[in-house]
Amino acid sequence: MEDATILDFEFEAHANPVAVADRAALLANPGFGKIFTDHMAVIHYSADKGWHGARIEPRRPIQLDPACAVLHYAQEIFEGLKAYRMPDGGATLFRADANARRFAESAQRMAMPPLPEELFLASIRELVSIDRDWIPEGEGASLYLRPFMFASETFLGVRPAQEYLYLVIASPAGAYFKGGAPSVTLWVSEHYTRAAPGGTGAAKCGGNYAASLVAQAEAIGHACDQVVFLDAAENRYVEELGGMNVFFVFDDGSIQTPPLTGTILPGITRESLLTLARDAGITVREERYSLEEWQADAASGRLREAFACGTAAVVTPIGRVRGRGFDFAIGNGGPGMLTEQLRAQLVAIQRGTAPDPHGWVERLL
Protein backbone atom coordinates (compact mmCIF):
# COMPACT_ATOMS: atom_id res chain seq x y z
CA MET A 1 0.00 0.00 0.00
CA GLU A 2 1.34 3.44 -0.93
CA ASP A 3 2.26 5.95 1.76
CA ALA A 4 -0.57 8.43 1.23
CA THR A 5 1.36 11.31 2.78
CA ILE A 6 3.96 11.27 -0.05
CA LEU A 7 1.88 10.62 -3.16
CA ASP A 8 3.11 12.40 -6.29
CA PHE A 9 0.49 14.02 -8.51
CA GLU A 10 0.47 13.11 -12.18
CA PHE A 11 -0.54 15.98 -14.43
CA GLU A 12 -2.72 15.85 -17.53
CA ALA A 13 -3.07 19.27 -19.13
CA HIS A 14 -6.43 20.33 -20.51
CA ALA A 15 -6.38 19.92 -24.30
CA ASN A 16 -8.67 22.92 -24.82
CA PRO A 17 -8.36 25.34 -21.90
CA VAL A 18 -10.48 28.46 -21.81
CA ALA A 19 -8.90 31.14 -24.00
CA VAL A 20 -7.19 34.05 -22.25
CA ALA A 21 -9.68 36.64 -23.52
CA ASP A 22 -12.67 34.48 -22.61
CA ARG A 23 -11.24 33.83 -19.14
CA ALA A 24 -10.74 37.56 -18.58
CA ALA A 25 -14.36 38.21 -19.52
CA LEU A 26 -15.54 35.56 -17.07
CA LEU A 27 -13.37 36.89 -14.25
CA ALA A 28 -14.75 40.40 -14.69
CA ASN A 29 -18.01 39.32 -13.05
CA PRO A 30 -17.73 35.74 -11.81
CA GLY A 31 -20.67 35.66 -9.41
CA PHE A 32 -20.51 32.70 -7.04
CA GLY A 33 -20.25 29.02 -7.96
CA LYS A 34 -21.17 29.51 -11.61
CA ILE A 35 -17.90 29.20 -13.52
CA PHE A 36 -15.00 26.80 -13.02
CA THR A 37 -11.32 26.51 -13.79
CA ASP A 38 -9.79 24.18 -16.37
CA HIS A 39 -8.54 21.44 -14.03
CA MET A 40 -9.41 19.41 -10.94
CA ALA A 41 -7.56 17.23 -8.44
CA VAL A 42 -8.49 13.56 -8.13
CA ILE A 43 -7.39 10.88 -5.65
CA HIS A 44 -8.79 7.35 -5.33
CA TYR A 45 -9.25 5.16 -2.26
CA SER A 46 -9.92 1.46 -1.93
CA ALA A 47 -9.80 -0.77 1.14
CA ASP A 48 -7.03 -2.90 -0.36
CA LYS A 49 -4.84 -0.15 -1.90
CA GLY A 50 -5.48 2.82 0.39
CA TRP A 51 -5.11 6.29 -1.13
CA HIS A 52 -3.66 6.14 -4.63
CA GLY A 53 -3.81 7.53 -8.17
CA ALA A 54 -3.31 11.22 -7.31
CA ARG A 55 -3.77 13.37 -10.42
CA ILE A 56 -4.42 16.89 -11.62
CA GLU A 57 -6.49 16.46 -14.75
CA PRO A 58 -8.94 18.36 -16.96
CA ARG A 59 -12.22 19.16 -15.25
CA ARG A 60 -14.81 16.83 -16.77
CA PRO A 61 -17.94 14.84 -15.86
CA ILE A 62 -17.67 11.89 -13.45
CA GLN A 63 -19.07 8.58 -14.67
CA LEU A 64 -21.07 6.77 -11.96
CA ASP A 65 -22.84 3.43 -11.85
CA PRO A 66 -26.56 3.67 -10.95
CA ALA A 67 -25.74 1.56 -7.87
CA CYS A 68 -22.97 3.92 -6.73
CA ALA A 69 -23.16 3.98 -2.93
CA VAL A 70 -23.31 7.76 -2.55
CA LEU A 71 -26.52 7.91 -4.61
CA HIS A 72 -28.28 5.65 -2.12
CA TYR A 73 -26.69 6.20 1.29
CA ALA A 74 -25.28 9.73 1.02
CA GLN A 75 -21.75 9.02 2.27
CA GLU A 76 -20.34 12.38 1.22
CA ILE A 77 -18.41 15.26 2.77
CA PHE A 78 -16.97 18.52 1.49
CA GLU A 79 -15.00 21.62 2.43
CA GLY A 80 -14.78 25.22 1.29
CA LEU A 81 -11.74 27.49 1.30
CA LYS A 82 -10.26 30.27 -0.82
CA ALA A 83 -7.11 31.34 -2.60
CA TYR A 84 -6.56 35.10 -2.69
CA ARG A 85 -4.68 37.32 -5.13
CA MET A 86 -2.08 39.46 -3.34
CA PRO A 87 -1.21 43.04 -4.29
CA ASP A 88 2.11 41.88 -5.80
CA GLY A 89 0.36 39.29 -7.98
CA GLY A 90 1.11 36.30 -5.74
CA ALA A 91 -1.50 34.09 -4.10
CA THR A 92 -2.30 32.97 -0.57
CA LEU A 93 -4.35 30.33 1.21
CA PHE A 94 -6.04 31.07 4.52
CA ARG A 95 -5.95 28.40 7.24
CA ALA A 96 -6.07 25.49 4.82
CA ASP A 97 -4.62 23.28 7.56
CA ALA A 98 -7.80 23.87 9.58
CA ASN A 99 -9.90 22.78 6.60
CA ALA A 100 -7.74 19.65 6.32
CA ARG A 101 -8.39 18.78 9.97
CA ARG A 102 -12.12 19.39 9.72
CA PHE A 103 -12.29 17.31 6.53
CA ALA A 104 -10.72 14.38 8.38
CA GLU A 105 -13.11 14.83 11.32
CA SER A 106 -16.10 14.90 8.98
CA ALA A 107 -14.86 11.70 7.32
CA GLN A 108 -14.62 9.91 10.66
CA ARG A 109 -18.17 10.91 11.58
CA MET A 110 -19.46 9.62 8.24
CA ALA A 111 -17.58 6.31 8.51
CA MET A 112 -15.23 7.28 5.67
CA PRO A 113 -11.44 6.92 5.52
CA PRO A 114 -9.79 10.19 6.64
CA LEU A 115 -7.66 11.76 3.94
CA PRO A 116 -4.19 12.51 5.38
CA GLU A 117 -3.96 16.23 6.05
CA GLU A 118 -0.74 16.64 4.06
CA LEU A 119 -2.36 15.01 1.04
CA PHE A 120 -5.37 17.34 1.35
CA LEU A 121 -3.01 20.33 1.41
CA ALA A 122 -0.95 19.00 -1.49
CA SER A 123 -4.06 18.63 -3.65
CA ILE A 124 -5.00 22.27 -2.97
CA ARG A 125 -1.50 23.61 -3.66
CA GLU A 126 -1.12 21.64 -6.88
CA LEU A 127 -4.46 22.74 -8.29
CA VAL A 128 -4.01 26.42 -7.39
CA SER A 129 -0.51 26.40 -8.87
CA ILE A 130 -1.75 25.03 -12.19
CA ASP A 131 -4.91 27.16 -12.42
CA ARG A 132 -3.39 30.28 -10.82
CA ASP A 133 -4.45 32.51 -13.72
CA TRP A 134 -8.07 31.90 -12.67
CA ILE A 135 -7.63 33.78 -9.37
CA PRO A 136 -9.59 37.01 -9.90
CA GLU A 137 -8.44 40.43 -8.77
CA GLY A 138 -10.48 43.12 -7.10
CA GLU A 139 -12.21 43.72 -3.79
CA GLY A 140 -14.08 40.68 -2.52
CA ALA A 141 -12.83 38.42 -5.32
CA SER A 142 -11.17 35.05 -4.71
CA LEU A 143 -10.77 31.55 -6.06
CA TYR A 144 -13.21 29.35 -4.16
CA LEU A 145 -11.90 25.81 -3.65
CA ARG A 146 -14.27 22.89 -3.12
CA PRO A 147 -12.65 19.63 -1.93
CA PHE A 148 -15.15 16.80 -1.62
CA MET A 149 -15.23 13.04 -1.18
CA PHE A 150 -17.93 10.46 -1.78
CA ALA A 151 -18.52 6.71 -1.63
CA SER A 152 -17.91 5.44 -5.17
CA GLU A 153 -18.31 1.69 -4.64
CA THR A 154 -21.03 -0.06 -6.64
CA PHE A 155 -23.23 -1.89 -4.14
CA LEU A 156 -26.61 -1.75 -2.41
CA GLY A 157 -25.76 -3.03 1.06
CA VAL A 158 -26.12 -0.78 4.08
CA ARG A 159 -22.52 -0.53 5.30
CA PRO A 160 -19.58 1.85 4.89
CA ALA A 161 -18.29 1.73 1.34
CA GLN A 162 -14.88 0.28 0.52
CA GLU A 163 -14.12 2.66 -2.36
CA TYR A 164 -14.09 6.46 -2.38
CA LEU A 165 -13.28 9.28 -4.74
CA TYR A 166 -11.77 12.57 -3.56
CA LEU A 167 -11.77 15.62 -5.82
CA VAL A 168 -11.05 19.34 -5.69
CA ILE A 169 -12.68 21.75 -8.10
CA ALA A 170 -12.13 25.52 -8.20
CA SER A 171 -14.48 28.38 -8.98
CA PRO A 172 -13.61 32.09 -9.33
CA ALA A 173 -15.92 33.98 -6.99
CA GLY A 174 -17.25 37.46 -6.37
CA ALA A 175 -19.67 38.46 -3.62
CA TYR A 176 -21.72 35.60 -2.12
CA PHE A 177 -24.89 37.66 -1.71
CA LYS A 178 -26.30 39.44 -4.75
CA GLY A 179 -25.50 43.13 -4.87
CA GLY A 180 -22.96 42.90 -2.07
CA ALA A 181 -25.79 42.90 0.54
CA PRO A 182 -25.01 45.65 3.09
CA SER A 183 -27.06 43.51 5.47
CA VAL A 184 -29.26 40.44 5.23
CA THR A 185 -32.71 39.60 6.55
CA LEU A 186 -33.23 36.28 8.33
CA TRP A 187 -36.25 34.02 8.66
CA VAL A 188 -36.53 32.01 11.88
CA SER A 189 -37.48 28.44 11.07
CA GLU A 190 -40.40 27.29 13.22
CA HIS A 191 -41.00 23.80 11.84
CA TYR A 192 -37.56 22.59 10.79
CA THR A 193 -34.29 21.98 12.61
CA ARG A 194 -30.84 21.65 11.08
CA ALA A 195 -29.35 19.03 13.40
CA ALA A 196 -30.00 17.20 16.67
CA PRO A 197 -27.68 15.96 19.43
CA GLY A 198 -25.88 12.83 18.29
CA GLY A 199 -26.45 13.68 14.64
CA THR A 200 -24.15 15.04 11.94
CA GLY A 201 -24.40 18.75 12.76
CA ALA A 202 -20.65 19.13 13.36
CA ALA A 203 -19.74 17.33 10.12
CA LYS A 204 -19.62 19.17 6.80
CA CYS A 205 -21.74 16.71 4.86
CA GLY A 206 -24.20 17.33 2.09
CA GLY A 207 -27.12 15.84 4.00
CA ASN A 208 -27.08 18.70 6.49
CA TYR A 209 -27.50 21.19 3.66
CA ALA A 210 -30.13 19.13 1.87
CA ALA A 211 -32.18 19.07 5.08
CA SER A 212 -31.98 22.87 5.28
CA LEU A 213 -33.23 23.60 1.78
CA VAL A 214 -36.96 23.43 2.49
CA ALA A 215 -36.47 25.92 5.32
CA GLN A 216 -34.33 28.13 3.08
CA ALA A 217 -37.07 28.05 0.45
CA GLU A 218 -39.53 29.14 3.14
CA ALA A 219 -37.21 32.03 4.04
CA ILE A 220 -37.02 33.18 0.43
CA GLY A 221 -40.79 32.95 0.21
CA HIS A 222 -40.97 35.48 3.04
CA ALA A 223 -38.56 37.86 1.29
CA CYS A 224 -35.63 36.85 3.51
CA ASP A 225 -32.07 36.07 2.47
CA GLN A 226 -31.30 33.21 4.84
CA VAL A 227 -32.93 30.88 7.34
CA VAL A 228 -31.79 30.68 10.96
CA PHE A 229 -32.35 27.48 12.92
CA LEU A 230 -33.23 26.94 16.57
CA ASP A 231 -32.14 23.96 18.66
CA ALA A 232 -33.90 20.65 18.12
CA ALA A 233 -34.54 19.87 21.80
CA GLU A 234 -36.43 23.00 22.92
CA ASN A 235 -36.90 24.92 19.67
CA ARG A 236 -35.78 27.98 21.58
CA TYR A 237 -32.04 28.64 21.28
CA VAL A 238 -30.40 30.14 18.20
CA GLU A 239 -27.94 27.74 16.56
CA GLU A 240 -26.81 28.76 13.08
CA LEU A 241 -27.94 29.82 9.65
CA GLY A 242 -28.39 27.44 6.74
CA GLY A 243 -24.73 27.82 5.84
CA MET A 244 -23.14 30.23 8.33
CA ASN A 245 -22.40 30.75 12.01
CA VAL A 246 -23.96 33.69 13.85
CA PHE A 247 -22.62 36.35 16.27
CA PHE A 248 -24.25 38.97 18.50
CA VAL A 249 -22.69 42.30 19.57
CA PHE A 250 -23.95 44.06 22.73
CA ASP A 251 -23.94 47.63 24.03
CA ASP A 252 -21.07 46.90 26.43
CA GLY A 253 -18.84 45.95 23.49
CA SER A 254 -18.96 42.20 24.20
CA ILE A 255 -19.78 39.57 21.61
CA GLN A 256 -21.52 36.22 21.90
CA THR A 257 -21.94 33.18 19.68
CA PRO A 258 -23.68 29.82 20.25
CA PRO A 259 -21.38 27.16 21.73
CA LEU A 260 -20.16 24.13 19.79
CA THR A 261 -22.15 21.27 21.26
CA GLY A 262 -22.09 18.86 18.31
CA THR A 263 -25.07 20.34 16.48
CA ILE A 264 -23.25 23.36 15.02
CA LEU A 265 -20.55 23.31 12.36
CA PRO A 266 -17.22 24.46 13.86
CA GLY A 267 -16.63 27.24 11.36
CA ILE A 268 -13.06 28.26 10.59
CA THR A 269 -14.16 31.86 10.01
CA ARG A 270 -16.03 31.68 13.33
CA GLU A 271 -12.93 30.54 15.20
CA SER A 272 -10.76 33.14 13.46
CA LEU A 273 -13.10 35.97 14.47
CA LEU A 274 -13.18 34.74 18.07
CA THR A 275 -9.38 34.80 18.11
CA LEU A 276 -9.17 38.30 16.62
CA ALA A 277 -11.76 39.60 19.10
CA ARG A 278 -9.89 38.16 22.06
CA ASP A 279 -6.64 39.59 20.72
CA ALA A 280 -8.32 43.01 20.75
CA GLY A 281 -9.39 42.62 24.38
CA ILE A 282 -13.05 42.16 23.53
CA THR A 283 -15.10 40.08 25.96
CA VAL A 284 -16.19 36.92 24.16
CA ARG A 285 -18.87 34.48 25.28
CA GLU A 286 -19.71 31.14 23.72
CA GLU A 287 -23.13 30.72 25.29
CA ARG A 288 -26.67 29.84 24.30
CA TYR A 289 -28.90 32.72 23.22
CA SER A 290 -32.66 32.30 22.94
CA LEU A 291 -35.01 33.77 20.37
CA GLU A 292 -36.84 35.54 23.21
CA GLU A 293 -33.58 37.18 24.34
CA TRP A 294 -32.80 38.16 20.76
CA GLN A 295 -36.12 39.98 20.36
CA ALA A 296 -35.97 41.64 23.79
CA ASP A 297 -32.35 42.79 23.40
CA ALA A 298 -33.02 44.18 19.94
CA ALA A 299 -36.03 46.10 21.24
CA SER A 300 -34.21 47.52 24.28
CA GLY A 301 -31.07 48.45 22.36
CA ARG A 302 -28.87 46.12 24.38
CA LEU A 303 -28.16 44.24 21.15
CA ARG A 304 -26.39 46.66 18.84
CA GLU A 305 -25.22 44.41 16.00
CA ALA A 306 -25.47 40.87 14.68
CA PHE A 307 -23.61 39.18 11.87
CA ALA A 308 -23.22 35.86 10.10
CA CYS A 309 -19.89 34.43 9.00
CA GLY A 310 -18.50 31.68 6.82
CA THR A 311 -15.90 31.04 4.14
CA ALA A 312 -18.15 31.96 1.22
CA ALA A 313 -19.72 35.15 2.61
CA VAL A 314 -16.88 36.02 5.07
CA VAL A 315 -18.73 38.43 7.43
CA THR A 316 -22.27 39.55 6.62
CA PRO A 317 -24.24 42.01 8.81
CA ILE A 318 -27.73 40.93 9.88
CA GLY A 319 -30.15 43.83 9.65
CA ARG A 320 -33.55 42.28 10.26
CA VAL A 321 -35.13 39.11 11.65
CA ARG A 322 -38.57 37.80 10.76
CA GLY A 323 -40.73 34.89 11.78
CA ARG A 324 -44.35 34.00 12.28
CA GLY A 325 -45.77 36.83 14.37
CA PHE A 326 -42.66 38.97 14.69
CA ASP A 327 -40.40 41.24 12.66
CA PHE A 328 -37.62 43.26 14.25
CA ALA A 329 -34.58 45.26 13.24
CA ILE A 330 -31.13 45.06 14.80
CA GLY A 331 -29.40 48.35 15.55
CA ASN A 332 -29.73 50.66 12.56
CA GLY A 333 -30.55 47.75 10.26
CA GLY A 334 -27.17 47.91 8.54
CA PRO A 335 -23.51 47.14 9.20
CA GLY A 336 -22.33 47.87 12.73
CA MET A 337 -18.99 49.31 13.78
CA LEU A 338 -17.56 46.18 15.40
CA THR A 339 -18.84 43.97 12.60
CA GLU A 340 -17.05 46.13 10.05
CA GLN A 341 -13.90 46.29 12.19
CA LEU A 342 -13.62 42.51 12.52
CA ARG A 343 -14.41 41.94 8.86
CA ALA A 344 -11.81 44.45 7.69
CA GLN A 345 -9.14 42.94 9.95
CA LEU A 346 -9.88 39.40 8.81
CA VAL A 347 -9.95 40.29 5.09
CA ALA A 348 -6.68 42.21 5.39
CA ILE A 349 -4.97 39.18 6.90
CA GLN A 350 -6.44 36.87 4.25
CA ARG A 351 -5.15 39.08 1.44
CA GLY A 352 -1.72 39.65 2.93
CA THR A 353 -2.13 43.39 3.50
CA ALA A 354 -1.96 43.22 7.32
CA PRO A 355 0.26 41.42 9.86
CA ASP A 356 -0.52 37.74 10.40
CA PRO A 357 0.34 37.11 14.08
CA HIS A 358 -1.10 33.59 14.13
CA GLY A 359 0.53 32.29 10.96
CA TRP A 360 -2.78 31.67 9.24
CA VAL A 361 -1.72 32.66 5.73
CA GLU A 362 0.33 30.45 3.42
CA ARG A 363 1.94 32.07 0.40
CA LEU A 364 1.77 29.83 -2.67
CA LEU A 365 3.07 31.85 -5.62
**Which of 272, 338, 190 lies closest to 330 in space, CA to CA?**
338
pTM: 0.94
- For residues 294 and 239, the answer to whether their CB atoms sit within 8 Å is no
* 194-240 tens-digit pLDDT: 999 999 999 999 999 999 999 999 999 999 999 999 999 999 999 99
pLDDT of residue 181: 58
Question: What 3-state DSSP class applies to 104?
Answer: helix
* 251-279 tens-digit pLDDT: 999 999 999 999 999 999 999 999 999 99
What count of other Cβ atoms lies within 10 Å of the Cβ of residue 92? 24
What number is the average pLDDT over the span 161-179? 88
- For residues 54 and 119, the answer to whether their CB atoms sit within 8 Å is yes
pLDDT of residue 266: 96
Evaluate the CA torsion angle 146, 343, 308, 283 in order and state its sign. Answer: positive
What number is the average pLDDT over the span 34-44? 97
* 20-29 tens-digit pLDDT: 999 999 999 9
What number is the average pLDDT over the span 59-82? 97
* 132-152 tens-digit pLDDT: 999 998 888 999 999 999 999
| pLDDT over 70 percentage in the chain | 97
In Å, how far are 53, 163, 266, 322 from 112, measured between CA atoms? 18, 9, 19, 39
Helices 96-109 + 268-279 axis angle, to 10: 130
Beta strands in the chain (DSSP E): 10-11, 39-46, 50-58, 76-78, 81-85, 91-94, 142-151, 163-173, 184-188, 226-230, 238-241, 245-250, 255-257, 284-286, 303-310, 314-323, 326-329, 361-363
Average pLDDT, the chain: 94
Residues facing residue 145 across a β-bridge: 81, 170
* 314-355 tens-digit pLDDT: 999 999 999 999 999 999 888 899 999 999 999 999 988 899
In Å, how far are 120, 132, 170, 309, 364 from 126, measured between CA atoms? 10, 10, 12, 28, 10
Residue 311 has pLDDT above 60, yes or no: yes
Q: What is the spatial distance between Cα 333 and Cα 320, in angstroms, rounded to a whole number? A: 6
E strand or H helix that includes residue 297: helix 291-300
**Which of 256, 285, 275, 258 lies closest to 349 in space, CA to CA?**
275
Phi, psi of 197 (to 5 degrees): -55, 135
Beta-carbon contacts of residue 24 (< 8 Å; ≥ 6 apart): none
